[in-house]
Amino acid sequence: MFTTENKTKGFTLLEMLIALAIFTIAVFIAVSTLFSITNVQKKIIAKQSAEDNLRFAFESMAKEIRTGKIFHCGTSGTLTSPQNCPFPSGGNSFTFKNSPAGQTVTYQVWTDPISGAKQLVKSSDGNLPCTNSSYINCQKLTSPDFVIVNKVNFYVSGATANDGAQSLATIVLDGQVLDPKNIGTAKLVLQTTISKRGLLDQP
Q: For residue 143, tell me if it sits in a domain.
A: yes
Q: Which helix H or strand E contains 134, and what residues bound it?
A: none
Domain with 57 in it: 34-195
Please determine, for residue 67, whether its predicted confidence score (pLDDT) is greater than 60. Answer: yes
Q: For residue 45, tell me if it sits in a domain.
A: yes
Please determine, for residue 186, whether its predicted confidence score (pLDDT) is greater than 80. Answer: no
Say how far apart CA 88 and CA 95 lie, in whole Å: 19
Q: For residue 157, tell me if it sits in a domain.
A: yes
Q: For residue 164, tell me if it sits in a domain.
A: yes
Q: For residue 70, tell me if it sits in a domain.
A: yes
Query: What's the residue count for the chain?
Result: 203
How many domains in the chain?
1
Q: For residue 21, tell me if it sits in a domain.
A: no
Q: How much is the mean pLDDT over the chain?
A: 82
Contacts (Cβ under 8 Å, ≥6 apart) of 90: 73, 153, 154, 155, 172
Q: For residue 103, tell me if it sits in a domain.
A: yes
What's the pTM?
0.74
Could you report the per-residue pLDDT of 20-30, keeping only the tens digit for each? 889 899 988 88
Contacts (Cβ under 8 Å, ≥6 apart) of 161: 82, 201
**One-letter amino acid of 103:** Q
Say how far apart CA 44 and CA 50 lie, in whole Å: 10
Average the pLDDT over 162-168 and give the result.
Answer: 73
Q: For residue 90, tell me if it sits in a domain.
A: yes
